[in-house]
Structure 1
């Protein structure tokens, strides 16, 4: 009979639980995470986890906070547009590397403390730049939605960046469209600029951050 080796008594901590949960979520997605499965990953009995967490919802909230806390937050007094750009670059990269975070945000009932700190710092940067409250709220909401959208598209479209023939085929498809029905597309098609996924993201950031001024 094969028995599973248990972790040493007292070795389990909330940090270990969160780290194991992130690893499991990255490998197998949100549906794979249960208290029983996580206990198996940690080589402990399921009830041992309840000494540190209150259940699956508590684990997911802790995972979201840990992931979001990895974002570097610049000093609001000196950050300006470059600092806000750095925050959203980091956020985009976090979502690309841990796409399950996009699903986690839909399951949580309220913002985690780390997410609130990001919003607080972003608003501070905008207010320091002179934006009125309505403009600051609209700008942050737009940038968050844009970043999430780019991250959602990334898994399906980043292969374009590694395909040397992608843009040639795209140009050919555009130039094959009826000129009378699609004159503007045809006009651009012959000299269509190449945009990688990162290029498109950076272009969008430029548009949003123009609201902060020079």
Structure 2
């Protein structure tokens, strides 16, 4: 066997992302990566203690590369930033095969300190309490991840299948609605849910005086 080529942490993570793109998350293993890189598998343990640690690093790299809108701009309204941040997270996950499932299943709940400070401060300045600000960001993140997982794992490609042989007006009306929703597309579905979530989180709406 030829002496293995030199490798490093970045090349291992990049090889894992390539495998995900080609074959899906379940194909990523230290053995598959060592084969791709032309190195002995034990050499990878110098950089990663095991598959879980490797997948954490892959998830972090995907977010670093493609989740680029993590900080509010000067003068940006809280809801504009949160929506932009959610779209950026969604693009990053959908840009890699099984990306949403990977992000959902790896890492801890500990955010980047500097990013979290800026995000929470923006929402506090808009009238949120600190706790409500954190919960709002968590809610939007969970919605975004869940939506992306559904989009990437749906067997029917986003179709809404209503299995029925009924031809009455109520059934026909529902089938027509389903077709219209599918025609609008999954981006539209996501944006509709995101807008509704942001409206419900708005502190001005929640604490408005009753008439």
Cα distance in 1 for partners of 2:30, 2:124 equals 43
Deviation at 1:109, TM superposition (A): 5.8
2:16 maps to 1:16:
no
For residues 22 and 124 of structure 1, do their structure 2 counterparts lie closer, same or farther at Cα, with a shift above 3 Å needed?
farther
Partner of 2:56: 61
Deviation at 1:112, TM superposition (A): 6.2
Deviation at 1:159, TM superposition (A): 4.6
Deviation at 1:63, TM superposition (A): 0.7
Contact 2:16/2:33, CA 8 A, preserved across alignment? yes
For residues 51 and 153 of structure 1, do their structure 2 counterparts lie closer, same or farther at Cα, with a shift above 3 Å needed?
closer
Partner of 2:186: 197
Contact 2:93/2:103, CA 8 A, preserved across alignment? no
Cα distance in 1 for partners of 2:88, 2:24 equals 22
Cα distance in 2 for partners of 1:205, 1:109 equals 24
Q: Deviations over 1:90-136 (max 9, x none)?
A: 1111222225333334543624665x665554433322322123432
Q: Which runs of 5+ in 2 are unaligned?
A: 206-211
The ranges of structure 1 where at least 4 consecutive aligned residues each deviate by more than 4 angstroms after the TM superposition are: 3-6, 116-121, 157-160, 191-194
Contact 2:34/2:40, CA 8 A, preserved across alignment? yes
TM-score for the superposition, normalised by structure 2: 0.72
Equivalent position SS for 1:82 = helix
Picking from 94, 103, 125, the partner of 1:128 is 125
Contact 1:84/1:125, CA 8 A, preserved across alignment? no
Q: In the TM superposition, what are the counterparts of 1:95-174 in structure 2 within 5 Å?
A: 95-105=93-103, 107-108=105-106, 110-111=108-109, 119-155=116-152, 156=154, 159=157
Cα distance in 1 for partners of 2:129, 2:155 equals 36
TM-score for the superposition, normalised by structure 1: 0.71
Task: Give the number of aligned pairs.
Answer: 196
Deviation at 1:34, TM superposition (A): 2.0
Which one is further off, 89-98 or 124-133?
Answer: 124-133
For residues 62 and 192 of structure 1, do their structure 2 counterparts lie closer, same or farther at Cα, with a shift above 3 Å needed?
closer
Partner of 1:78: 75
Partner of 2:198: 209
